[in-house]
Structure 1
Amino acid sequence: MAASIQAKCSRLICSARRWSGGQRRLLVTSSGKAPKGEKASGGGGFPFRPRPLPLLLVTGGGYYGYQHYKKREDGAPPALATPAQVALYRSFPTRLLSRAWGRVNQVELPTWLRKPVYSLYIWTFGVNMQEAAVEDLSHYRNLGEFFRRRLKESARPLCSASCLVCPADGKIVHLGRVLASEVEQVKGVTYSLEHFLGPRGEGASPADSPEATPPSFRAGLLSSPDNHLFHVVVYLAPGDYHRFHSPADWTVDLRRHFPGSLMSVSPGVAGRVKELFCLNERVALSGRWRHGFFSFTAVGATNVGSIRVYFDQELQTNAARDKEGKFHDLRYAAAATAGEGGSARGGVALHRGEAVGEFNLGSTVVVLFEAPRDFAFSVKPGQTVKVGEGLGGL
């Protein structure tokens, strides 16, 4: 009995020695050399060589993530990006990438591939295809047609009680009165009203125009000193309906196209980049409605270099020849008088809820308008809205 127990113990000790030797060989192989005092065929030691750079990256990244999380927990707003950070962001070839993305959107997909591709997009961004005029996914030949799909006529009824309706599906980012020359793109982050709309003269660079004092530019937009200037910003996410509509009955006199960057306009980026809407490419339509000044601006974004306005066949955005810092004007009243377009004399008349144009993907629209002092918004920031819903009234 004792001999049997001794034999079993001997076998266990031999097995342990073989396992230990294998582990030592594994450690030597992973570390590249044998521990001090031993040959390469055996020995013990620390299983990994310390790597200072990865260790620094991991600990530094962990610390930065913790600080970022702590700020979010405390409710502190994110810090504004520095001019160097904005310049670095603008140096990325987003205009070139957006043109490439536009070409990809026009590639016709095989019929068998359309449903899987579109279904993945629908699942990712929560698209409601029951609202689409054509629900059959195989009908859309390419991504562009799918993004710009039409809706059923009954999908977006107009609010009859409001003189101003929502121009696009999306989320209200900011709204309110414009008190001076600085307008809030999100709460606490502003952009220049004059830089956004451009000088009141025609055909010059914003940098070459004489600077107006902030009160004079804002006051120059108002037809009556008893009125106020209001604004509303709507952000369209990638899963939203990508066409935009007229928010009121008004007449467009001027189209002003500003070539520019194509940075993201998501609320997170808008909260960090000051003057984001002035830096990005945009198409500003300006005119008048029954209360005075009225403007509607479609702001481009990454992969949204293509902004189309249905009644303006001359407009071409994100063109390689365009240079930032300049803008291009077209007065519809002058074009109609000269017989260059289908516009009615005196500008282009738009009706409330009428389709005006489309984005290639989600982006942002900004409505600036003059109204009596007692105008009040019926929506609030952060609220999800759809085309035709009331934004406010008198």
Structure 2
Amino acid sequence: MVRKVNIEEIKKRDEFLNTPAMTKDELNKAMKECILQVDLNMEYFKDKFPYSATKQQTYPIIENIEWTDGFWTGMLWLAYEYTHEEKYRILADRNVESFLHRVENRIELDHHDLGFLYSLSCVAGYKLTGNEHAKRAGILAADKLMERWQEKGGFLQAWGPLDSKEHYRFIIDCMLNIPLLYWASETTGDEKYAKIAQRHFETSCQYVIRDDASAYHTFYMNPETGGPDHGATRQGYSDDSSWARGQAWGIYGIPLNIRYTKQLEYCDIYKGMTNYFLNRLPEDNVCYWDLIFTDDPDQSRDSSAAAIAVCGMLEMDHNLSDEDPYKKVYQGASANILRSLMKHYTCKQHKQGDPILYHGVYSWHSGKGVDEGNIWGDYFYMEALIRQLKEWNPYW
């Protein structure tokens, strides 16, 4: 049975209902600005990759070793879909070869972020071009992710040795890693991947989301019994607060899983999480890095969390009937947030190494990428645009 969470009434309901829908002109203008930056960064990165976040607003260049490298390749595929220009496919295919090499040699893959890495690079490449190397890499990545399965607790362990009590936990981010497993089942005909994905999703909805519909970042299970232990954070302000990007992972992760499982009974948890997020937005509707902050000039925004939440609302839209009282509210909210990102969080002056989306936060506690661009923010901003410009088949 799906548990119940609180569904708050939306405070800015009238504001969102009165927000005009995005126009094709607005969307195309914004996407063309993205393409200009992608072009410059292709020359800058060449066959390498951007670091997860900018440093002093410029991306350092790295090898294919980080959990975030798939976002850049995903941006190339989005540019290819939008423009149909071969230069994007050519570089993305070279990236695919790098990802195949990485998974065949198990380079920096002892974590759960195989979906972020391989859904946006290799699954996308296979869907768009039929590249068999991309297909092979995606299936190998799904196999690698399956190695993190903890049968007793019913979850995919985020990090660390599988026999470590200290690491017997999962995080809300993994809702976007498990679509790789659904794809692997569809592609191979083997249901084992999808069964584990669905169980992890159900475990996540049961424990990592609080009764008030806010999210923990991470949830520890009891290694002896496999039952629930406690929630905590490694990213949010405190164990009791709601890290904005984690809340956004839930807003997007639930409808992505529903796409595969058809479990519409999880729609109310989605509504609870989305309403909680929308009720804690500042005046310009782009969230702070933790939702405990709603008006604090000393704290940083996280534009990437805003872009992820918009993608989640756009993904969920087709699951909500026209009679649903929240459908038009979410449509207005997504347009409002995206328009705010366009106007206040992007730059029209482009140079090599720049981000597309400014004012994000990678990790406040470690001081990494605070009030900087980050590559997933760039990706999800582009995805939010293309979702409204065409009938888009998600890479997830």
- TM-score range (shorter-chain normalised) is under 0.3
- Normalised TM-score (structure 2): 0.24
- Normalised TM-score (structure 1): 0.25
Higher normalized helix content (fraction of residues):
2
Higher normalized strand content (fraction of residues):
1
Structure with larger Rg: 1
